Structure 1
């Protein structure tokens, strides 16, 4: 079934808003989405114009397709009813009554937890693929499939509180996390073999302009296979690949045709270490690395491993070539270190710690530290102000905005009146920057509305007082290092951004 409704985005572009109460039938889906996003329980709409089919069918179609936009909200609509009456020949008033599986308090708590989790497990310099893997793995490791829960198993609120739920909760949480990370994603409703008549939900995600299927629920096998926690069999699939056991309305979603990530489908328990995917080779169990951009692989060691898990800038693993004991692997130095003499049964990662379970049943908790690389200050001569064209940066509380346009390519230094400075170390003609400090350092740089990542590190200069005010999570780490340097310290947080903190 092809949708005859205009999209949510198109409705907004033509000036539509929640204040719109008189609409045409093709605007119904967008307006319903807006009301459900607000968790509105009762509202009325007037539909003008000739209807192409009976009104109750149009209303049913709109609710059936509501998952295409703002699924986190529209799919929490648990019950709906409506009644309508004709006002004139081509004018109908519809009164809606809706109920939801969450309230505003639930929404606030969930969004705060989602923001916190994303700050813990992702970094700005990660590629879209790396972020998708991190979110996929976090959900699989943290949650379990279970129909019998205290709250609704379909609700993300129940899912996050009880750590249990069904496919709808898996897919909605994944979709919302992708939305926060600004990675295009769809919540897909269809059917799958073995799921009965209740239906099934999964996701589509866009990476580098291509769409792929991801079924997080079907990749969660930790409760089924003892020696594996996460699989990638249903990770970044084409339409043809997932259609072997999934069915959906192809007209409602973009086509998925790229086979770029076929090499990942046979992997288990992948972890991200810097720019590499590290995992046990599926046939030999040797410690192996894959470049996520080229998908080229290389063997790291001859040891047979299991449960590769990245934390504290090390890969923790079970070394089956040495009695299933706990080892760490440093991806930067290729150094292997033995950490235990007793056999290990499993390694489980949460957002705050690694839980190492020994064969005798005892457990060891290893705290996960916030990754902050404090290094020696760069020579200021490398950033000579005379090389840059200075552009004023507007301050709006803890947010900073600036735009640069030129006919020539220049090195740009964005500067605010209160001492925030951003140096762009590659010539550029157009750039828009948005910096927010209220929830850590969040910097977006776009050219012609598209994200840009430079080869040469940009440098963000912040007064030390800003770190103490806006980024308390770093304060203890900085206090330990600040006496080492006379003027400033630098934190290398990504390949595209270097932060220098002025001691003033």
Structure 2
């Protein structure tokens, strides 16, 4: 669920740990053992741990029919099947976050079939994997710190996503966000999970509530042995505003997040470190090397800079700057101390100049042009 969203589609929020294990029922029937759905689906196992691993592996492959023959102890058979599904979901976090429904059938010979329906499919996930590989090669470098990797993933998602459900694919899927540029919180959090995990960041997919009880999903990440919350959905303002990414929900503590989020704390790690609190109040950020130029919401949106190496914040000019972008030594922004006029700032001389005497928004650089909007109509200006 998106911050400030007052109404919208019902969000299907699925826990990767217990959502189906708690609600699924087992039909015990006498069946013949049918042919495998794929190369993994007719496995024979003698221990529950092996069965769990097998189901998790096939869920990770987005198999829709998982067949396993269990030949171990039959004591508490049905109960153990439910527990096995719950534990398999914990192992297959990304896949189980996409689960829509699971039906289980079994017989007295230990033949178990899991009929699984996902919010995505194998073809879409192959596309997701290919795209994620391409994106990570672009935004992640071997020399990056864990902080820099998390920031790169956050920035990519926020910059390329719009919150909404007007998609051909399920808006709750990572595929919709990555390939159609739009999704709800579940899609944001699942894509973040996949990208962060592949980038080598230990992460968790979190389900909880916001806005007085609306289902919501976000992530937790582990940096230098400590856990933090990361909500990419709420770092992307609503309504969608180009260049309006924020870091108010970036590497925050339990205490900070509990101001407007709730979750079952015992299901997740504790997050108490305030090491990255300097990222608070940073909006419309534009980065040059290790310096982040931003609109400081703690000081009436004045233009500041943040040295990411030292965590020091310094005011650049005493003007309200929104929709910040830049090229080389020049920043471009909407000067809300001067009618929202399109303004250019030279970072070496700190001299400013008005380029357009109209209120502008949604600034970006494209093909050596400064793109902006006046009264929601796109305009462009060639950059000298």
TM-score scaled by length of structure 2 = 0.75
The structure whose RCO (Cα within 8 Å, separation 6+) is larger is 2
Q: Is 1:250 equivalent to 2:265 in the alignment? A: yes
Structure 2 residues without counterparts, runs of 5 or longer: 1-16, 19-39
- Matching residue within 274, 278, 282 for 1:263: 278
1:213 is matched with which residue: 192, 208, 229?
A: 229
Any conservation in 1 of the 2:44–2:71 contact (CA below 8 Å)? no
User: In 1, distance between residues paired with 2:316 and 2:343?
Assistant: 14
CA distance 1:144–1:355, shift in 2 (3 Å): farther
Partner secondary structure for residue 148 of structure 2: helix
Find the counterpart in structure 1 of residue 134 from structure 2.
Answer: 116
The aligned runs of 1:412-423 (5 Å cut-off) are none
- The alpha-carbon deviation at position 327 of structure 1 amounts to 4.0
Q: CA deviation at 1:166?
A: 1.5
CA deviation string 1:131-170 (max 9, x = no partner): 3233223323332222454332212222333322211101
SS at match of 1:342: strand
How far residue 238 of structure 1 moved from its aligned partner, in angstroms, is 1.5
Q: In the TM superposition, what is the alpha-carbon distance from 1:296 to its structure 2 partner?
A: 1.6
Give me the whole-angstrom Cα distance separating, in 2, the residues matched to 1:183 and 1:81: 33
Distance 1:49 1:352 in 2: 65
Q: 2:212: which partner in 1?
A: 194
Match of 1:33 among 50, 56, 59: 56
RMSD, aligned CA: 3.6
Structure 2 distance, partners of 1:367, 1:62, is: 61
Answer whether contact 1:271 1:310 (CA < 8 A) is retained. yes
Secondary structure in 2 aligned to 1:137? helix
Q: In structure 1, what is the Cα distance between the partners aligned to 2:316 and 2:126?
A: 44
Report how far residue 329 of structure 1 moved. 4.9
Residue 494 of structure 1 is matched in structure 2 by none
Question: Is the contact between residue 315 and residue 330 of structure 1 (CA under 8 Å) also seen in structure 2?
Answer: yes
**Which of residues 256, 259, 269 in structure 2 aligns to 1:241?**
256
Q: Do the aligned partners of residues 308 and 239 (structure 1) sit closer, same or farther apart at CA in structure 2, a change above 3 Å counting?
A: same
Which structure has the greater CA radius of gyration?
Answer: 1
* 1:97-148 superposed Cα distances (whole Å, 9 cap, x missing partner): 2233333331232223233333444544443323323322332333222245
* TM-aligned CA deviation for residue 223 of structure 1: 0.2
Output the CA distance in 1 between the equivalents of 2:366 and 2:232: 18
Aligned mates of 1:64, 1:358 — CA distance in 2: 50
Residue 159 of structure 1: aligned partner? 177
Give the distance between the partners of 1:295 and 1:284, measured in 2 at CA.
20
Would the aligned equivalents of 1:78 and 1:99 in 2 still touch at CA under 8 Å? yes
Match of 1:179 in 2: 197
Aligned length: 345
